[in-house]
């Protein structure tokens, strides 16, 4: 009897440990901006997968990212009466800060995406920046070098003769310190999006937020603080978030990034939103091996690159990491109702013969075959197989 009990107990423990990564508790604090706000925060590990759905038209960047692995990030959250703050820590051995005026270098950066909840957060928006009728708010922070250019001539650095440091040593040091203190460093943006091409920067001050990132110990630590309620969101109980990080050394930008799936952040002391938590933690019920056979039998690979070892296919998004950043509900819907969410072809112009959607009566209609004729079990099996499609952690 004792033996059975222990094994039941350990099963229970294993199950709750697995859940920990998908649900995070935002610890209630008096003020998220106070110095000790993070002292009680609990970090959880979240996996970020290479976003391979959309292929960029950049040979060098594609080569640099060809063998990409998934990354781990540690995230924690705190909240007070008004605001929620998230901290994200991830390893990056190559610190890349974009130079003030260079366009051929890329910066490290991160984003926290919130599911816009004013219209109801469910089903959760498409992970790649929302979808029609399902908006997201994206807080983006990049590391950029300090610049002080009051006249906009980009000539501040040329206004002193650096050969003369022997004579002007202290003055030059004072000058540099002054320039640094006046410099505006921040690249911080907030966007609202209902799909990739609809990305719109919010500049009217209607979102109160702040973000920052600091480098140390071979990695970054970034924070985003925003209101729990504004024109775009109204969070109670559970806040659905997703995290993206960019690696400047690998020419990361736009679509070249690592992305998590939706994660539920439960506000401590409030009743979690059971539906959102269920959607972010749902496990596939099917048989992945049977699903693999069904994918072959239904010709999915005719349009999709299914695993990263298959040749790229421009007919449709690559599914190589789709299991890493997609929910079970989203995958099921992709099969049964392809036009419910239409993934925007990033280089649509480059593949004008094989568009991913057509426009009918102003609405995007997916060119994917409608597989709603498949029986429920086969769909579950396919979803179980799709959930296995993801890169290993580096
Ligand atoms: C005729 C070409 C075609 C076939 C066959 C096809 N698809 Fe698709 N699929 C697409 C296109 C195009 C898109 C992108 C537009 C959209 O979102 O529907 C897509 C999107 C998807 C997505 C969403 C991908 C993402 O990154 O979010 C999934 C998942 C998917 N398909 C799974 C399947 C499965 C499973 C099969 C086989 C049962 C299949 N597809 C067969 C063309 C196809």
pLDDT in tens, 113-130: 999 866 666 789 999 888
Q: How far is the CA of 72 from the centre of ligand 1 (A)?
A: 27
Q: Whose CA is nearest to atom 7 of ligand 1?
A: 368
Q: Is the CB of 379 under 6 A from ligand 1?
A: no
Q: Is the CB of 323 under 6 A from ligand 1?
A: no
pLDDT above 60: residue 183? yes
Min mean pLDDT across 66-75, 319-328, 357-366 is at: 357-366
78 CB burial (10 A radius; 0-12, 13-18, 19+): buried
Q: Is the CB of 371 under 6 A from ligand 1?
A: yes
What's the structural domain count of the chain?
2
Domain boundary among 248, 265, 281: 281
Closest atom of ligand 1 to 339 CA is 18
| Confidence at residue 148, expressed as pLDDT on a 0 to 100 scale | 61
Give the start-end residues of each E strand in 170-313. 187-193, 200-201, 209-216, 219-227, 238-246, 258-259, 263-267
Judgement on whether residues 261 and 337 belong to the same structural domain of the protein: no
Closest atom of ligand 1 to 322 CA is 26
Interhelix angle 376-387/328-336, rounded to 10 degrees, is: 130
Q: Do the beta carbons of residue 158 and residue 165 sit within 8 Å?
A: no
Q: Is the CB of 332 under 6 A from ligand 1?
A: no
Pocket test for ligand 1, best of 197, 367, 368 (most atoms within 8 A of CB): 368
Q: Is the CB of 53 under 6 A from ligand 1?
A: yes
Q: Is the CB of 338 under 6 A from ligand 1?
A: yes
| Confidence at residue 166, expressed as pLDDT on a 0 to 100 scale | 64
Is position 169 within any domain?
A: no
Judgement on whether residues 138 and 230 belong to the same structural domain of the protein: yes
Cα separation, 247 vs 259, whole angstroms: 12
Q: Do the beta carbons of residue 187 and residue 173 sit within 8 Å?
A: no
Q: Is the CB of 336 under 6 A from ligand 1?
A: no
**Residue 104: band (very low, low, confident or very high) from pLDDT cuts 50, 70, 90:** low
| Confidence at residue 158, expressed as pLDDT on a 0 to 100 scale | 63
| Confidence at residue 292, expressed as pLDDT on a 0 to 100 scale | 98
| Confidence at residue 14, expressed as pLDDT on a 0 to 100 scale | 39
Cα separation, 334 vs 371, whole angstroms: 9
Instruction: Considering only residues 289 and 177, tell me which one the structure prediction assigns the higher pLDDT.
Output: 289
Is position 118 within any domain?
A: yes
Domain boundary among 225, 248, 281: 281
**Residue 168: band (very low, low, confident or very high) from pLDDT cuts 50, 70, 90:** low
Is position 31 within any domain?
A: yes
Cα separation, 130 vs 174, whole angstroms: 48
* CATH number of the domain within which 105 lies: 2.60.40.1190
Q: Is the CB of 169 under 6 A from ligand 1?
A: no
Judgement on whether residues 120 and 211 belong to the same structural domain of the protein: yes
Closest atom of ligand 1 to 126 CA is 27
- Tokens, residue 354: 């094989």
**Residue 146: band (very low, low, confident or very high) from pLDDT cuts 50, 70, 90:** low
DSSP 3-state of 240 = strand
Q: How far is the CA of 379 from the centre of ligand 1 (A)?
A: 13
Mean of pLDDT values over 253-274? 92
Pairing label, strands 209-216, 136-142 = unpaired
Is position 173 within any domain?
A: no
Mean of pLDDT values over 280-293? 96
| Confidence at residue 106, expressed as pLDDT on a 0 to 100 scale | 83
Is position 260 within any domain?
A: yes
Pocket test for ligand 1, best of 132, 303, 339, 347 (most atoms within 8 A of CB): 303
Domain boundary among 234, 263, 281: 281
Q: How far is the CA of 317 from the centre of ligand 1 (A)?
A: 7
Judgement on whether residues 210 and 346 belong to the same structural domain of the protein: no
The structure tokens 């007919």 sit at 315
Judgement on whether residues 333 and 380 belong to the same structural domain of the protein: yes
Closest atom of ligand 1 to 341 CA is 17
Instruction: Considering only residues 84 and 106, tell me which one the structure prediction assigns the higher pLDDT.
Output: 84
Is position 155 within any domain?
A: no
Is position 326 within any domain?
A: yes
Judgement on whether residues 130 and 47 belong to the same structural domain of the protein: yes
Judgement on whether residues 251 and 350 belong to the same structural domain of the protein: no
* CATH number of the domain within which 382 lies: 1.10.760
| Confidence at residue 263, expressed as pLDDT on a 0 to 100 scale | 95
Q: Chain-centre distance of CA 206, in angstroms?
A: 23
Q: Is the CB of 367 under 6 A from ligand 1?
A: yes
**Domain limits for position 125:** 20-145+185-281
pLDDT above 90: residue 288? yes
- Tokens, residue 23: 């649900």
Is position 137 within any domain?
A: yes
Judgement on whether residues 227 and 345 belong to the same structural domain of the protein: no
Pocket test for ligand 1, best of 299, 317, 347 (most atoms within 8 A of CB): 317
Mean of pLDDT values over 169-186? 71
Q: Is the CB of 315 under 6 A from ligand 1?
A: yes
Prediction pTM value: 0.85
The residues near 18 (Cβ < 8 Å, ≥ 6 apart) are none
Q: How far is the CA of 247 from the centre of ligand 1 (A)?
A: 28
DSSP 3-state of 264 = strand
pLDDT above 80: residue 5? no
Q: What is the dihedral of CA 202, 207, 210, 212, to 10 degrees?
A: -30
Q: Is the CB of 259 under 6 A from ligand 1?
A: no
Number of Cβ within a 10 Å radius of residue 288: 17
Judgement on whether residues 203 and 336 belong to the same structural domain of the protein: no
Mean of pLDDT values over 164-187? 69
DSSP 3-state of 344 = coil
Closest atom of ligand 1 to 326 CA is 27
Judgement on whether residues 211 and 327 belong to the same structural domain of the protein: no
Judgement on whether residues 87 and 198 belong to the same structural domain of the protein: yes
pLDDT above 90: residue 132? no
pLDDT above 90: residue 206? no
Tell me which DSSP letter residue 170 carries: H
Judgement on whether residues 262 and 317 belong to the same structural domain of the protein: no
| Confidence at residue 2, expressed as pLDDT on a 0 to 100 scale | 40
């Amino acid at each position: 009897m004792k033996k059975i009990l222990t094994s039941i107990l350990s099963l229970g423990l294993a199950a709750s440990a697995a859940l920990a990564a998908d649900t995070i508790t935002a610890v209630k604090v008096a003020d998220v901006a106070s110095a000790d706000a993070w002292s009680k925060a609990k970090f959880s590990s979240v996996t970020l997968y290479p976003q391979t759905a959309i292929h960029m038209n950049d040979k060098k960047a594609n080569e640099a990212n060809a063998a990409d692995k998934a990354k781990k990030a540690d995230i924690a959250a705190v909240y007070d009466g008004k605001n929620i703050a998230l901290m994200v820590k991830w390893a990056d051995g190559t610190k890349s800060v974009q130079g003030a005026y260079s366009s051929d270098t890329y910066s490290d950066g991160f984003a926290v995406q919130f599911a816009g909840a004013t219209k109801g957060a469910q089903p959760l928006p498409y992970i790649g920046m929302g979808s029609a009728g399902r908006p997201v708010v994206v807080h983006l922070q990049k590391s950029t070098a300090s610049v002080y250019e009051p006249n906009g001539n980009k000539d501040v650095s040329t206004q002193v003769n650096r050969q003369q440091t022997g004579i002007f040593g202290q003055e030059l040091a004072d000058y540099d310190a002054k320039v640094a203190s006046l410099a505006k460093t921040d690249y911080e943006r907030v966007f609202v999006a209902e799909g990739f091409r609809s990305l719109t920067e919010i500049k009217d001050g209607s979102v109160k937020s702040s973000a920052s990132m600091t480098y140390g110990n071979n990695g970054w630590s970034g924070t985003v603080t925003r209101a729990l309620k504004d024109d775009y969101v109204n969070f109670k109980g559970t806040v659905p978030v997703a995290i993206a990080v960019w690696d400047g050394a690998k020419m990361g930008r736009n679509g070249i990034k690592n992305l998590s799936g939706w994660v539920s952040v439960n506000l401590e002391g409030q009743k979690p939103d059971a539906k959102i938590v269920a959607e972010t933690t749902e496990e596939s019920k099917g048989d992945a091996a049977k699903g693999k056979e069904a994918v072959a039998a239904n010709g999915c690979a005719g349009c999709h690159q299914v695993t990263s070892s298959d040749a790229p296919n421009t007919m449709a998004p690559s599914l190589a990491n789709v299991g890493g950043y997609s929910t079970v509900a989203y995958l099921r819907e992709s099969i049964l109702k392809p036009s419910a969410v239409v993934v925007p072809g990033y280089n649509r112009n480059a593949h004008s013969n094989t568009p991913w959607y057509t426009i009918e009566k102003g609405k995007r209609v997916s060119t994917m075959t409608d597989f709603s004729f498949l029986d429920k079990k086969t769909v579950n099996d396919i979803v179980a197989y799709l959930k296995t499609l993801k890169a290993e952690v580096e």
